[in-house]
Amino acid sequence: MKKMQRWWKVLLIFGVLFAALFAIMTPWNSSALSSHPRPAKSYGEAMQRIERLKSRDSVGMNPLCQLQLMTHNKKVSRAIILVHGYTSCPRQFQALGQQFYDMGYNVLIAPLPHHGLKDKMTEEHGKLKTEELAAYADETVDIARGLGDRVTMMGISAGGVTTGWAAQNRSDLDLAVIISPAFGFKKIPNPFTAAVMNIYRLLPDAFEWWDPALKTNITPTHLYPRYSQHALVQILRLGFATEDAAEHQAPAAKRIVMIFNPSDSSINNERTTDIVKIWQAHHATLGSYEFPAQLQLAHDLIDPSQPKQKVALVYPRLIDLVNH
């Protein structure tokens, strides 16, 4: 009898440990987000919404990082939304946006929530929430519906995850171009991404230098030089919310193009591949492109002021992928 009781205790302990492990390895609250489309019905309405967006910008905004609208002063056949990465700002996409504008696009580049402030050492971006990124995706697509008959959204890193969320949820998005999305990070083995996310949600926030050697001297100068652990968690959570929705239904966007950079030292491409496979299982209209590894592209392959940038090679390829 005593031997039997011991076995039951052992089984109970293993059961509790297994349940705890399962709980920590499962993304928490990843299915709580929903999209709320309110597309602009005209160019005039889109312009009114843009003015409201501008009015929300803090007086402490870096002039380089304010909302950028490149418009032909009317609704045109094509509009594009360009979504910058975490701790960057609209300046990242300005040069590429100008090229799209010159091709006839209306171009919208809006700062992500809590981004673009003059004070580079601000901790404001640590307040970033998953819900804000989802709302940003909805709001920019809503506005773009009044800027162009066909709407493209292109984003990189955190902006790529935001674009992925829009691709999953917005049927009025004609094309989503997702560049090196931060669905997971290189330092975290793919199976443990959810566990790390869950654990860091419970811990106090901490800010770390992107480059501990350069600290505030990193370039481009409009970047925040530090990242918030909690903000990264919120970006991951949006990725898991996108994945959870994809498990249940096909992506809503008419077409998706996923861009891989095999030289990326920040992003876990395995996580991105997992989501691509889910979308493919739904027979989504989905293409992909991988930049050649020999180019040795940095994670931020968009901003011309990044060191060792190769935009002369990158931009034509991205433009070709959008236009075809």
List pLDDT tens digits, range 241-295. Answer: 999 999 999 999 999 999 999 999 999 999 999 999 999 999 999 999 999 999 9
Percentage of the chain beyond pLDDT 70 is: 90
Beta bridge partners of residue 76, listed in sequence order = 148
Q: Domain count for the chain, please give it.
A: 1
SS3 per-residue string spanning 246-311: HHHCCCCCCCEEEEECCCCCCECHHHHHHHHHHHHHCCCCEEEEECCHHHCCCCCCCCCCCCCCCH
CATH, residue 146: 3.40.50.1820
Residue 104 covered by a domain: yes
What is the pLDDT at residue 26?
62
Considering only 39-48, 52-61, 92-101, which range has the smallest mean pLDDT? 52-61
Residue 202 covered by a domain: yes
Burial class of residue 17, CB neighbours in 10 A (0-12, 13-18, 19+)? exposed
Residue 23 covered by a domain: no
What is the pLDDT at residue 6?
61
Percentage of the chain beyond pLDDT 90 is: 85
Residue 22 covered by a domain: no
Residue 99 covered by a domain: yes
Query: Could you tell me the residue range of the domain that residue 149 belongs to?
Result: 31-323
